[in-house]
Amino acid sequence: MLSLLSVALMGILLAADSSSAINLDINSVDSVSNAAQGVASNIMTMYSNTSEIPGLFPTPYYFWEGGLAWDSMINYWALTGDATYNPLVGEALLYQRGPNDNFMPQNQTTTEGNDDQSYWALAAMTAAERGLPVPQSDSALAVTWAELAQNVFDSQTARWDEATCGGGLRWQIFTFNNGYNYKNSASNGNLVQLAARLALYTGNATYSDWAQKVTQWSLDVGLIANEDGVVFDGFDTTTNCSSPNHIQWTASAGTYLSGAAYASNKTSTTFWNGIGFALYTNANTTFAPNGTLTEVACQSKCNTDQLAFRAVLARALANMRDLTLDSPVTQEPGCSVNNTKPSPSCADVGTIHASIDAVLKTSAQGAAAQCSGGTDGSACGADWSAFTWDGTQGLGQSLSALEILLANLPAVQRRTAVSTSSVVTGTSSNGTATSSNGTATSSNTTATSSNGTATSGVSSSNTSSSASASTNVATGCSASTFALLAGMGFVVASFM
Ligand SMILES: *[C@@H]1O[C@H](CO)[C@@H](O)[C@H](O)[C@H]1NC(C)=O
Ligand SMILES: *[C@@H]1O[C@H](CO)[C@@H](O)[C@H](O)[C@H]1NC(C)=O
Ligand SMILES: *[C@@H]1O[C@H](CO)[C@@H](O)[C@H](O)[C@H]1NC(C)=O
Ligand SMILES: *[C@@H]1O[C@H](CO)[C@@H](O)[C@H](O)[C@H]1NC(C)=O
Ligand SMILES: *[C@@H]1O[C@H](CO)[C@@H](O)[C@H](O)[C@H]1NC(C)=O
Ligand SMILES: *[C@@H]1O[C@H](CO)[C@@H](O)[C@H](O)[C@H]1NC(C)=O
Ligand SMILES: *[C@@H]1O[C@H](CO)[C@@H](O)[C@H](O)[C@H]1NC(C)=O
Ligand SMILES: *[C@@H]1O[C@H](CO)[C@@H](O)[C@H](O)[C@H]1NC(C)=O
Ligand SMILES: *[C@@H]1O[C@H](CO)[C@@H](O)[C@H](O)[C@H]1NC(C)=O
Ligand SMILES: *[C@@H]1O[C@H](CO)[C@@H](O)[C@H](O)[C@H]1NC(C)=O
Ligand SMILES: *[C@@H]1O[C@H](CO)[C@@H](O)[C@H](O)[C@H]1NC(C)=O
Ligand SMILES: *[C@@H]1O[C@H](CO)[C@@H](O)[C@H](O)[C@H]1NC(C)=O
């Protein structure tokens, strides 16, 4: 590893001569696919170099990150067409499915949290939507990808806890684990996303109702701050969720955003469009203030888990672009939906999709430049704002880089379990595409819209709370909602 340091010091030289990734042409599908192929190969080499158990990456990588890795590798195949790794990926997912087919394998059960479990469920969901083939070695499999995801949904909704905080999913599953007395955005946001995707995939209204219920609870309790779409990390249940941990992570914001995008696609209600827009606006201003996605809470001090979080937000931004209808961006609340109000403050500043694409492109160019490290020039660093390798490498960096590259490839239609028409016209009891006012919009995001489109009046200048949150946390890289399983104090600055 000593050589890495000297390589880092010679970063400029390296950047000047090395890999094709640096010459990424962000507007070329082939160029982006090639860059993604290099990163995917790095991830799979890391896996085959170090893994002893199918599906798992060894220490320092926790269980959840394996789930995220397989999710990203399925997405890689779906968007590039490179099926090379599919058998290994399918085997990895299935090996960890556990005796009850809900991703609680016995080796993990005593340390597994709800968010760990749901990362695997989301990977199974991606496998279902993309039609990942079941590997030959599991040809007698009696369960489908979607059923694995449904089983996780069933086990988590059974853990919904109304004894404190008016509802919510706790972070941990077991009372004896640190974090049992914590209700966090990663667990609840992942449940929203899982439910929204199951709703779109199956057309079953139970899932739509839960997606809305968990989101509504998150708004009511203040895990998502109503007006500006800020997603906080979580709350202590022993004080009835009265005081949030204000730290913001890209993964938590991203998982709720993906949930809203899928839910809007199923039923374009004011509720979903409004919350999706607010989440997006906050994510854009908080995590990409200079146009590049950044883990603002820790930056160069991010721990192993945190380095992977941007993978989740990169995917979410692509989902927002691909699954929701575009709309104009207005700068001030009160601006009309059609931007004809003759006030300078209501100038049309483009569309949501264009704004998403701008961040995705800039970030991917930075990520590609980072993926020139290690002894073979294929390892990825984390600092997407710098165009020379930052000297770090690891699974989290590579997963984030892979997803930001994939987010720049053209969308591929997802599958559903039933015919498209029956999904679209499905009998969701709550909200249909024609609803002009939806339900339960305690988020203050509907003021200017008379239509169900994403025309929130959230002010892009109203970012004071996110700005101060990022200032706050920049002073110390504190509690990740993962990785606190080693008996350390809870929600402390253990990772500085
Ligand atoms: C895998 O191991 C080989 C041989 O030790 C090494 O050269 C290579 O850098 C490793 N690759 C990764 C991605 O860990
Ligand atoms: C559980 O751990 C044992 C011992 O390391 C290993 O042989 C087995 O493959 C593991 N099972 C899973 C599902 O990870
Ligand atoms: C706890 O919070 C919930 C939701 O905010 C509220 O409905 C409930 O009354 C609170 N319970 C106590 C004991 O304060
Ligand atoms: C809908 O999903 C729920 C939750 O998984 C399940 O209990 C129920 O059987 C499903 N309904 C139908 C008609 O499939
Ligand atoms: C609609 O959603 C609301 C809020 O989640 C819930 O209270 C209500 O029961 C739902 N209605 C039906 C018919 O499912
Ligand atoms: C954005 O740019 C400003 C000015 O260069 C800098 O102070 C700030 O740290 C940057 N923010 C991020 C998240 O990179
Ligand atoms: C996203 O943030 C950029 C600044 O990085 C800003 O210029 C742009 O207007 C924002 N987009 C939206 C839709 O708020
Ligand atoms: C739903 O997503 C598909 C792409 O999968 C897109 O073509 C369609 O326009 C979206 N529908 C809505 C209502 O956003
Ligand atoms: C669109 O602009 C016209 C004026 O040109 C205005 O009367 C109308 O209310 C606007 N629509 C919305 C939804 O604001
Ligand atoms: C929807 O809006 C209409 C008029 O704007 C109103 O009459 C109706 O009560 C509203 N419905 C709901 C569910 O808020
Ligand atoms: C909605 O926003 C308006 C104007 O910004 C404010 O007066 C009102 O209190 C807000 N309502 C809620 C429920 O936050
Ligand atoms: C509402 O949306 C429809 C369809 O997109 C459009 O034709 C109509 O002009 C919109 N109404 C207003 C008031 O913006």
DSSP string, 434-451: T-SS-S---SS--TT-SS
Distance (angstroms) between ligand 7 centre and the Cα of 193 equals: 24
Per-residue pLDDT of the chain (496 residues; tens, 9 = 90+): 333 333 333 333 333 334 444 579 999 999 999 999 999 999 999 999 999 999 999 999 999 999 999 999 999 999 999 999 999 999 999 999 999 999 999 999 889 999 999 999 999 999 999 999 999 999 899 999 999 999 999 999 999 999 999 999 999 999 999 999 999 999 999 999 999 999 999 999 999 999 999 999 999 999 999 678 999 999 999 999 999 999 999 999 999 999 999 999 999 999 999 999 999 999 999 999 999 999 999 999 999 999 999 999 999 999 999 999 998 776 555 554 444 445 444 555 678 999 999 999 999 999 999 999 999 899 999 999 998 999 999 999 999 999 999 999 999 999 998 543 322 222 222 222 222 222 222 222 222 222 222 222 222 222 222 222 222 222 222 223 333 222 222 222 222 2
Please count the CA atoms within 13 angstroms of the CA of 43 that sit on its side-chain side. 33
Distance (angstroms) between ligand 9 centre and the Cα of 450 equals: 10
Ligand 2 neighbour 107 (Cβ under 6 A)? yes
Q: Which DSSP category does 136 fall into? A: G
In the chain, the amino acid numbered 410 is: P
Nearest CA to ligand 4 atom 14: 204
Residue whose CB lies within 8 A of the most ligand 3 atoms, among 165, 242, 442, for a mutation test: 165
Distance (angstroms) between ligand 7 centre and the Cα of 355 equals: 6
Ligand 8 neighbour 369 (Cβ under 6 A)? no
Residue bearing tokens 């003021």: 447
In the chain, the amino acid numbered 348 is: D
Ligand 5, residue 430: give the atom nearest the CA. 1
Nearest CA to ligand 8 atom 12: 265
Cα dist. 41→45, 377, 398 in Å? 6, 12, 10
* DSSP codes joined into one string, 230-276: EE--EEEGGGTT-SEE----HHHHHHHHHHHHHHHHHS--HHHHHHH
SS3 label, residue 461: coil
Ligand 11 neighbour 472 (Cβ under 6 A)? no
Task: List pocket residues of ligand 4, CB cut-off 6 Å.
Answer: 150, 153-154, 204, 206
Ligand 12, residue 453: give the atom nearest the CA. 2
Residue 159 to residue 182: CA distance in whole angstroms: 13
Residue 102 to residue 129: CA distance in whole angstroms: 18
Q: What's the pLDDT score for residue 81?
A: 98
All structural domains of the chain, each given as residue ranges with its CATH number in brackets, are 4-494 (1.50.10.20)
Tokens of 17: 């001569």
Nearest CA to ligand 8 atom 11: 265
Kind plus residue range of the DSSP H or E element containing 89: helix 86-95
SS3 sequence of 143-157:
CCHHHHHHHHHHHHH
Residue 362 to residue 387: CA distance in whole angstroms: 11
SS3 label, residue 394: coil
Q: Which ligand is nearest to the CA of 41?
A: 1
- Angle at the Cα of 192 (from 128 to 170), degrees rounded to 5? 120
Q: What's the pLDDT score for residue 350?
A: 78
Distance (angstroms) between ligand 3 centre and the Cα of 117 equals: 28
Q: What's the pLDDT score for residue 109?
A: 85
Distance (angstroms) between ligand 11 centre and the Cα of 442 equals: 10
Nearest CA to ligand 9 atom 1: 338
Q: What's the pLDDT score for residue 381?
A: 98
Residue 106 to residue 223: CA distance in whole angstroms: 31
Q: What's the pLDDT score for residue 251?
A: 98
Ligand 11 neighbour 226 (Cβ under 6 A)? yes
Residue whose CB lies within 8 A of the most ligand 1 atoms, among 3, 39, 49, 402, for a mutation test: 49
Q: What's the pLDDT score for residue 330?
A: 60
Distance (angstroms) between ligand 2 centre and the Cα of 83 equals: 27
Distance (angstroms) between ligand 12 centre and the Cα of 182 equals: 43
CB 64, CB 105: distance < 8 Å: no
Strand pairing category for 230-231 and 182-184: unpaired
Ligand 10 neighbour 437 (Cβ under 6 A)? yes
Residue bearing tokens 């931004």: 317
| Residue of 174, 169, 178 whose CA lies nearest to 218 | 169
Residue 122 to residue 141: CA distance in whole angstroms: 19
Its pTM stands at 0.76
Strand order in the sheet with 244-245: 182-184, 234-236, 244-245
In the chain, the amino acid numbered 333 is: P
Residue 281 to residue 253: CA distance in whole angstroms: 11
Phi, psi (degrees; rounded to nearest 5) at 188: -70, -40
CB 266, CB 319: distance < 8 Å: no
Ligand 1, residue 49: give the atom nearest the CA. 1
Residue 492 to residue 240: CA distance in whole angstroms: 19
